[in-house]
Chain A
Amino acid sequence: MSLTIKLEVVTPERPVFSAEVAEVQFPTASCGYYGILPGHTPVMTEVGDGLLYYIQEGQKHWLTVFGGFAEVGPERVMVLARESETMDMIDLERAESSRQRALKMLKEAQTEHDMALAQAKLDASLIRLQAAGHPAGHGY
């Protein structure tokens, strides 16, 4: 049994990440967070919005993921995300301005649909801010 597991994150726009890691944790759509260690039993599940972390050489690294699917095997984790970013892909200013806009939209929302859209937008921006370690992202 190997002590590492291959993590692959791909989105329709680009392959985001691919490397051997020691541990992975990702958010699912319906069952909370999944923590995966090498040798995990095969699982297939829907991925939710949030932060994925992996541990590589004792260091914890974060990725954002938004929706998609994950296939877990004993030797690899494949995440087919709708959207995903590494830390250096995140544009802090854009996330912050997107948060402001979402807050404004939330206040002005008339229908439930608008509300849901604004909330989703706010969540997405908060996840990005949190990932980048921005103060506004905490307390989320």
Chain B
Amino acid sequence: MASLQDIRRRIRSVKNTQQVTKAMKMISAVKLRKSQERLVALRPYASKMAEVVRRVVVRIKGDAEIQPGPAAQAFLAPREEKRIRLVFVASDKGLCGGFNANVAKAATAFVAHCPSEIVHLDVVGKRAVEWAKKQKLTPTKEYLNIPLPGLQRVVTEISASASAQYHDGEIDALYVVYNYFNSPVAQTPTVLRVFPMELDPSLESKEAGQVSHLLEPDPNAVLETLLPRFVETELLRNLLESSASEHGARMAAMDKASNNAGEMIAKLTLTMNKIRQAGITNQIIEIVSGANA
């Protein structure tokens, strides 16, 4: 049986760990709030943007008089997906429960079932780099330790180069694998095709005859300026979703760790008291039997 001293030492060590996990939980809570605020603010913008793009696309598709330009054409009639670009978003740090493992699983499944060739891989976060290494994939570009305000720059970079690649026929689609932020304690690993856009055929037929927007100055100019911005917004949203998810996951993991540490301390204290009591009982027995003799 462990000695009293050993157990005391263990209790102290668990207490220290608990303090660390509690602090980490608090920090994550603050970071979560920041990410979540930005995400919640962006979501309505992103959904409206998607709506507008969809409407423009339907409009151009439904009007035979409009000659779609190259950018528009690529969007309206998606090419066969032979080469794709993939953006994999995970975190830089660990200690966030199943956050990285889950999204990596989704990415692995996607890569395994994907019939097309991944010609360009962007990875965001150190864990994403590790995943790529394990999959024997070479990331084209790594984005590490990106702070929240730096996300915009990453997004602009990726979307600009992806749009150019699509335009030049180097890639046929852009996919993102990330954690969707359901709530602070629930994330869903998600695979999203940013472009070409998936149009719901039922909506398409419903809306085709309805509104016919004038597109000023001309349809192609509108679409050509609209699309890069749409891609940017989507990417930014995905990165923010992932960031909020990460902090949420870490907060939940650290909360659990703190609770477990608490439980462990209680258990150890109980054992310690038992051992101490056993020692005292022994001593009393010795004294009593000594007095009797």
* Closest residue of A by beta carbon distance from B56: A44
The answer to whether the Cβ of B41 comes within 8 Å of any Cβ in the partner chain is yes
Question: Are A15 and B217 interface neighbours, CB within 8 A?
Answer: no
Closest approach, in angstroms, between the C-beta of A96 and any C-beta of chain B? 24
The answer to whether the Cβ of B101 comes within 8 Å of any Cβ in the partner chain is no
In the complex with contacts A28-B216, A44-B56, A80-B52, A14-B41 CB distance below 8 A: yes
* Closest residue of B by beta carbon distance from A45: B216
- B-side interface residues, number (CB < 8 Å): 25
Question: Are A45 and B48 interface neighbours, CB within 8 A?
Answer: no
In the complex with contacts A15-B44, A80-B45, A80-B48, A43-B236 CB distance below 8 A: no
The answer to whether the Cβ of A46 comes within 8 Å of any Cβ in the partner chain is yes
Question: Are B215 and A69 interface neighbours, CB within 8 A?
Answer: no
In the complex with contacts A12-B41, A12-B42, A15-B41, A44-B49 CB distance below 8 A: no
In the complex with contacts A69-B52, A80-B52, A12-B236 CB distance below 8 A: yes
How many pairs, one residue from A and one from B, have CB atoms within 8 Å of each other in the complex? 68
The answer to whether the Cβ of A31 comes within 8 Å of any Cβ in the partner chain is yes
The answer to whether the Cβ of A73 comes within 8 Å of any Cβ in the partner chain is yes
Interface of B is mostly: helix
Interface members, chain A 28-46 (any B CB < 8 Å) = 28-31, 41-46
The answer to whether the Cβ of A11 comes within 8 Å of any Cβ in the partner chain is yes
Closest approach, in angstroms, between the C-beta of B229 and any C-beta of chain A? 7
The answer to whether the Cβ of B222 comes within 8 Å of any Cβ in the partner chain is yes
* Closest residue of B by beta carbon distance from A44: B213
Closest approach, in angstroms, between the C-beta of A17 and any C-beta of chain B? 12
Other-chain residue from A14, A31, A78 in contact with B48 (beta carbon distance below 8 A)? A78
Question: Are B211 and A42 interface neighbours, CB within 8 A?
Answer: yes
Question: Are A44 and B38 interface neighbours, CB within 8 A?
Answer: no
Return chain B residues, CB-CB under 8 Å to A10: 44-45, 48
Question: Are A73 and B211 interface neighbours, CB within 8 A?
Answer: yes
Return chain A residues, CB-CB under 8 Å to B52: 44, 69, 71, 78, 80
Return chain B residues, CB-CB under 8 Å to A57: none
Give Cα A29 to B38, complex, Å.
27
Question: Are A41 and B45 interface neighbours, CB within 8 A?
Answer: no
Return chain A residues, CB-CB under 8 Å to B212: 42
Question: Are A11 and B214 interface neighbours, CB within 8 A?
Answer: no
Return chain B residues, CB-CB under 8 Å to A29: 225
In the complex with contacts A44-B214, A78-B52, A12-B233 CB distance below 8 A: yes
Question: Are A71 and B44 interface neighbours, CB within 8 A?
Answer: no
Question: Are B38 and A13 interface neighbours, CB within 8 A?
Answer: yes
Closest approach, in angstroms, between the C-beta of A46 and any C-beta of chain B? 5
Extra inter-chain contacts (10) besides given A30-B216, A31-B217, A71-B213, CB under 8 Å? A10-B44, A10-B48, A29-B225, A30-B217, A42-B211, A43-B213, A43-B215, A69-B52, A69-B229, A82-B229
Return chain B residues, CB-CB under 8 Å to A82: 229
Closest approach, in angstroms, between the C-beta of A2 and any C-beta of chain B? 17
The 10 closest A-B pairs by CB, nearest first: A45-B216, A42-B213, A43-B214, A14-B41, A44-B213, A10-B45, A30-B217, A42-B211, A12-B45, A12-B42
The answer to whether the Cβ of B226 comes within 8 Å of any Cβ in the partner chain is yes
Give Cα A45 to B221, complex, Å.
9
The answer to whether the Cβ of B55 comes within 8 Å of any Cβ in the partner chain is yes
Give Cα A28 to B217, complex, Å.
10
Closest approach, in angstroms, between the C-beta of A82 and any C-beta of chain B? 8
Return chain B residues, CB-CB under 8 Å to A71: 52, 55, 213
* Closest residue of B by beta carbon distance from A29: B225
Closest approach, in angstroms, between the C-beta of B213 and any C-beta of chain A? 4
